[in-house]
Structures are given as structure tokens and as C-alpha cells.
Amino acid sequence: MNGKKLAAYFIIVIILLVLAIMFGHLFKIFKTGRIIPSVPSTILPVKNSTANTTTTNAVYSGSCSDLFIYEGVSANNIVRYKCSWTGGELGVWSASGMSTKDSVLIKGQNNKTYFNQNYTYSCLTFLNSLNLTAQNYTVTFATYGNKGTCPDPHQILSINMTTTPSTQNKYDFVFNGNFSIGTYAGWSVNTIAFGNVPQNVILANNAVCFTNFPWKGLYGTNYFASTGTCSTIPFTGNLTSSYFNATYPYLNFQIVSPDNKTDYVEVLYQNNTPAIIASYNTYSGSSSDLLYTFQNASIPLLSVKNKLVRFRVVSDIYGIQPTIPTRERPLTNFTAISDIHMSSIPWQTRNITATLTINK
């Protein structure tokens, strides 16, 4: 290599070194933020008017004509449910409870908004009636603030076929009829027969008393009221719903019940006298599984149409049950019930009605 080539290589090396130094300096400038503003190492809190908001994925709930959403008593919640509808008019009801306001958004599968309104009502209120086309819908129910004035703190959205407001401030459906909130909210419990809270079918079926006799046939919820437990307590008492306006011709529910005179259900007038009394036998058959299988039952409400009534479950049984049931000695003297709701059509299982008395 001659002297000229060596000098040329030397100059190239010097130029590369100078460029490297300059690039490193520029990189340091950018990195330290003296040219580009630095980004904070912590994320600043974003002001949110719906603090503590909980949002769930849309849950499919069946028909839009029987959509019932319960959001407890804590403010600032957003939930979404999906439902299907064959077309026709529906009524929208809501209660913001202890929240300041609530909002309802109904969007069709075609992405069209059919209902989008905010309300400051606190107690259960008829919002509007609307005619919906046949398709699937997504319903969003949101509550905001914590300055509601309703003495009833429950936050509720109900879409049903009652399209005109009631003249009385009472429910047009059986509140907490399937006990799906895991408590007896909206119900009064007399004595210890039904316990302090409803049973969870999943937990019950994993308990020692029911592993060989799992509950079956429960529809739409994991919770039910029952006098059947593992303890040796007297199974007497009753469970009574909130008032509801009998705007539908049938009261449907699911029940497990023996054929005796001490287990029955009642529809009560406002003065607490029985309007209807019914008992059921869901044990008919040779299979012991029937002792723990829910059957569908229906009570006609035409005799109390448009009257304020309550539903009561009565158990007058006293007795000691086996601590751990066996095939030879299963639990028998108990009543279990859930999914109590009004309907335009009955759904009763054949041949389970034992007695039905309608008092005028």
C-alpha cells in the first residue's frame, strides 16, 4: 500500500470517528429531552366522572320481553346485556336507587340506536314504550353519582311487555324473583326455615349433603330458596316477596315440593289475606332424583288482575333430617323454589298440582 492510499484510509477513519462522536452527542440530546420534551415516567391520573365504574362484557339474557338487570346499591356501574326480540312493543323501566341518575342505551344488531336517554329519577319509573323490530339487541345500563334520594337503594333496569305506567309506585314484576343477586333483597324472611341467604346450587352440589343428590333442573340462575339443609333444625317459616302489580295472567316459578298440607305457596292481597293458595307434588315417580329436581309451576292471576299482591312460600314442617342423606333415607321434608316471574303464558309441568284454591 503506497503513501497516498494510506493517507486516504487515515482520513476516512478520522471522518468516521467524528461522525460517531456527533451522532452520540445528538442521541444524548434527544435522550435527555433538551430538544424533545421528556415523557413522565408515571402516568398521570385521568379524571373520570364514573369513578369505580365496572363494565362487564355483554351477557346474553334471552328474550328482550323479560330482561331484568339488577346492579346492587353501589353507584357508578355500567353493564351490557344482549337479548333477542321477535318484534313488537316493549316497555322500559328503570330505578337509579341511591345513584344520582341512570342512562339506558338500546342498539340493534343492525347498529342502529333505538333508545338512548338519561334520567334523574331515583325510584322505579316507567321510562317509555318503544316498538322494536325483530332482531338481537345490546342493552347498556349505567348509573352515575351517589346522591339519589330514593329510600329503596336498588338500581334496576327492566324491559317487559308492560307498556303503560302503573298508578301506584310498586313493581310491575317480582323483584329479585330468582334470587340471582345472592341475597333475599326485596323479600321478608320469617323465622329460620329459609336461612339468611338463598342457596347457591353449585356450592350446594359440592357439599357433603348433596354430592350424591345434586340439585337438577334449575333454570336461569344459580340461586334458590330452600328449607332443606344438613342441620337438625325445625323447617318452619315463610318467605314473602315485595308487592307487585299483577299485570300478567300467570305467575310462573320453579319448585321442589312434597305432597303434604304443610308446604304450599300463596298469593296475598294487600291486607295479607290469601287470594290464592296452591300446593304441589314434584316427587311423583320412583326415582329418588325427583326429590332434588325443580319442576315448572304456574298460578293463574286472573282473579287478582291489576291488583297489588305479594307471593309467599310457606313451610309448616317440623322435623329432624338426616345429617348426611342416604339412598335409604334421603332428605324429603323440604321445599325449594326459584325463578318466580309473571308471564303471558303458563309453563307448568303436567300433573304436579296437588291443590289450588282461589278465594274471591
Q: Would you kindly state where each structural domain of the chain is located, as residue ranges?
A: 59-160, 188-358
Distance CA 179, CA 194 (A): 12
Q: What is the reported pTM?
A: 0.58
Same fold, 59-160 and 188-358: yes
| pLDDT of residue 252 exceeding 80 | yes
Q: What is the pLDDT of residue 170?
A: 60
Closest to 310 measured CA to CA, from 339, 270, 337: 270
How many CB atoms are located within 10 Å of the residue 79 CB?
20
How many CB atoms are located within 10 Å of the residue 187 CB?
23
Average pLDDT over residues 200-226: 85
Whole-angstrom CA distances from 124 to 35, 151, 152 are 59, 11, 9
Contact 242, 185 (CB under 8 A): no
* Per-residue model confidence as pLDDT tens digits over 315-339: 876 544 545 555 444 556 678 999 9
Residues in Cβ contact with 328 at an 8 Å cutoff, skipping those fewer than 6 apart: none
Return the CATH number of the domain spanning residue range 188-358: 2.60.120
Residue with cell 321478608: 188
Bigger pLDDT: 59 vs 35: 59
Residues in Cβ contact with 298 at an 8 Å cutoff, skipping those fewer than 6 apart: 250, 251, 252, 253, 343, 346, 347, 348
Q: Which CATH architecture has domain 59-160?
A: Sandwich (2.60)
Average pLDDT over residues 54-75: 72
- For the chain, helix (H) and strand (E) counts, in that order, are 2, 21
The side-by-side arrangement of strands in the sheet containing 77-85 is 59-63, 77-85, 135-144, 101-108, 113-119
Q: Dihedrals φ, ψ of 28, to 5°?
A: -65, -40
Distance CA 173, CA 160 (A): 9
Bigger pLDDT: 344 vs 38: 344
* Per-residue model confidence as pLDDT tens digits over 340-359: 998 888 888 888 888 999 98
Percent of the chain surpassing pLDDT 70: 71
Bigger pLDDT: 319 vs 227: 227
| pLDDT of residue 182 exceeding 90 | no
